[in-house]
Chain A
Amino acid sequence: MEALLALAIGVLVAAAVYLMLARNLLRFIFGLVLISNAANLTIFTAGRLVEGAPPLVPVGLDAPVGTVANALPQALVLTAIVIGFGLFAFALTLMFRAYTTLGTLNGDEMRVAEPREHGEGSAMR
């Protein structure tokens, strides 16, 4: 199971890096989503996998019986998913705004905040 997940993480990262190398920012964002999910899976897998044993405490006892799944990585992943979702929503909105105000999604063409080439000075405002 670990090997399968490790393979899945590897494929996700590879696809993500391929997408993020593109000049088109929308592809970049999709790559970012993939790699953040790869990170979540990494945490989940690193926390050891236990099959079919939810970490539940039986009635009347103080601790779960036998080997149960580690609940902490699940809590961490849940936190990371929520934060990642917020960031992704922001990033998508920002890219949309960039497209409407700058008229391009090509990273190479976004040079409004950079100094002009011929010593004209920056186009700050």
Chain B
Amino acid sequence: MSWLLAAPIALPFLTAVLAFLFRAGPAGRRISVAGNAALLAAAVALMAETLREGVIAGQVGEWAAPFGITLVADLLSAVMVVITAITALAVSVYALADIGERAERLGYHALFNVLIAGVCGAFLTGDLFNLYVWFEVMLISSFGLLILGGSKAQIDGGVKYVALNMISTILFLSGVGLLYGMTGTLNIADLARTVPELEDQGLVTLIAMMFMIAFGVKAAVFPLFFWLPASYHTPAFSVSAVFAGLLTKVGVYALIRMFTLVFDGDVGFTHQILLWVAALTMLTGVLGAAAQNDIRRILSFHIVSQIGYMIMGLALLTPLALAGAVFYLVHHIIVKANLFLIAGVAERVAGSTELSRIGGLYKSAPLLAVLFLIPAFSLAGFPPLSGFWAKYVLVAAAIEIEGWVIAAVALVVGLLTIYSMTKIWAEAFWKPHPEGLEPALTRLPPGDRARLLAPVAALAGLTLVIGFFPEPFVAFAERAAGQLLDPTAYMTAVLGAAS
């Protein structure tokens, strides 16, 4: 089998083991950064190969599909792995200045890299039960990261996060069992072949709903998102950045994968529900954010709201809409992780993320203000930043099939997003600091300043690149969407030409 496919899973595991062995000193941090740089190189190599070949698949232990576990990368998987690697590298550099020695000795870097391995595994697997295992790998390491430090707020948020995610996992597992009982296979490509031939399509739709709820909890869609704003503002900033960027997006990826490849028999029913879910997710998220007064809680609710856009792309199920969803995923991960990292810098220099307790950042830290404006305006969809193109493609796709309501919701939610972003801007950056403090970046030790700001600047730069040169990214997203809508290449790559 191709090592290119296994490397994005094996490298983070190796990094995790080494980082755990050397967790006592500075070596652990360096191993984490080096490991994630290697992961980025492997991800780019995988991307290059996928661009050349279309879809690449490998069978673990040479057990032929559909009997063994298949690893498979199409363009969507490949781009998700690349974005995961970029986020992981940025956060591991940021963590050099953000994570204290106590958390390091407790195994922060090991948990972080296991989480990345789980995320990459979920993106690359072509087997449903294996997907469950990767979800569990992600889940258990995220539990650890979430409560590392053990403050009251962390335990409180952790309880809610653990409880709801475990219910989703059990529902997913039951769905896997029932689907296996009906088809006798767990290979996703093989399922795509056998599920449409089943007699009892009503039962298939029922199982599809179990998957929708299970992945819906993971993706934090309406009305299953409550665990997210209850917990994402409690852990260290590095942790919440990587959670915000990646974890919910694994749920979205799983929804896209299953509801384009396997559960596309009764689109009038399932995708109609998804469309409602999308609209309500966008609205509740953005309205929830409007009521918050803590930067991280505002941003957490905006994750929920933004997830709605991606689900909208999946629900419309046209080539343009799916391309929009893929583009949105890529843009959103970069922007969201970056905003949480910036919230961390703001807390370090101004003393809090509570809007009523901080201020004056524009005057004394103009560089941070600029770095905040780029992802914030991108999130709200200002041209010419990446969020504008993402929303533009999705709204265009909705208007194309005369989905006026969903298009209107998408536009209104964009408008309300500006409200939240200007609230953070006005409170944290514009108004004077309530305690008369001058929160300049020079309050940070020089070494920490570089480690905190370099990843933020790099991610902001990436947002600008996508914003100013959207054409290759949109073209790529359209190609990825084409693969999702016509799974022939995917199935041939996994099962061989005989299928």
Contacts and interface: CB of A to CB of B under 8 A. Distances in A.
Interface of A: 20, 25, 28, 32, 35-36, 38-40, 42-48, 72-73, 76, 79-80, 83, 86-87, 90-91, 94-95, 97-98, 101-102, 107, 110-115, 119, 121-125
B294 A121 contact: yes
A32 B159 CA distance: 13
A34 to B, nearest CB: 10
A115 B180 contact: no
A19 to B, nearest CB: 12
Which of A38, A47, A79, A113: most chain B Cβ within 10 A? A113
A28 B163 contact: yes
12 contacts: A35-B170, A36-B173, A43-B176, A43-B180, A79-B133, A91-B163, A110-B160, A111-B156, A112-B155, A114-B230, A115-B292, A121-B354
Contacts of A44: 177
Nearest to B185: A72
Nearest to A99: B155
Contacts of B156: 98, 102, 110-114
A-B CB proximity, top 8 nearest: A46-B181, A43-B177, A113-B153, A113-B156, A112-B156, A113-B157, A39-B174, A42-B177
Contacts of B412: none
Given A83-B133, A87-B140, A122 B231 contact: no
A79 B129 CA distance: 10
Contacts of B136: 83, 87
Contacts, number: 130
A12 to B, nearest CB: 11
Contacts of A94: 143, 147, 155, 158-159, 162
A57 B465 CA distance: 60
A97 to B, nearest CB: 6
Given A43-B173, A94-B162, A124-B294, 19 more contacts: A25-B159, A25-B163, A28-B163, A32-B166, A32-B170, A36-B166, A44-B177, A45-B181, A47-B177, A47-B180, A73-B177, A90-B143, A91-B163, A94-B159, A97-B147, A112-B156, A114-B156, A121-B357, A124-B354
Interface string B190-201: 000000000000
B170 A39 contact: yes
B167 interface: yes
B217 to A, nearest CB: 14
A36 to B, nearest CB: 5
B331 interface: no
A110 B294 contact: no
Contacts of A73: 177, 180
Contacts of A80: 132, 173
Given A36-B170, A87-B166, A95-B159, A122 B293 contact: yes
A93 to B, nearest CB: 10
Contacts of A79: 129, 133
Contacts of A115: 292-294, 297
A72 B176 CA distance: 13
Nearest to B230: A113
Interface string B140-159: 10010001001111111111
Contacts of A110: 156, 159-160
Nearest to A114: B230
A42 B174 CA distance: 6
* Interface residues on chain B, size class: 35 or more
Nearest to B232: A113
B178 A42 contact: yes
Nearest to A90: B143
A35 B177 CA distance: 14
B140 A47 contact: no
Nearest to A36: B170
Nearest to B292: A115
B271 interface: no
Contacts of A48: 181
Contact of B159 (A20, A45, A46, A98): A98
Contacts of A125: 151, 153
A35 B147 CA distance: 25
B70 interface: no
B233 interface: yes
A90 to B, nearest CB: 6
A88 to B, nearest CB: 9
A83 B173 CA distance: 11
B140 A90 contact: yes
Given A80-B173, A112-B152, A124 B353 contact: yes
A118 to B, nearest CB: 12
B305 interface: no
B177 A122 contact: no
A122 B294 contact: yes
A3 B234 CA distance: 46
A2 to B, nearest CB: 10
A112 B177 CA distance: 38
Contacts of B57: none
Nearest to B136: A83
A35 to B, nearest CB: 5
A124 B231 CA distance: 11
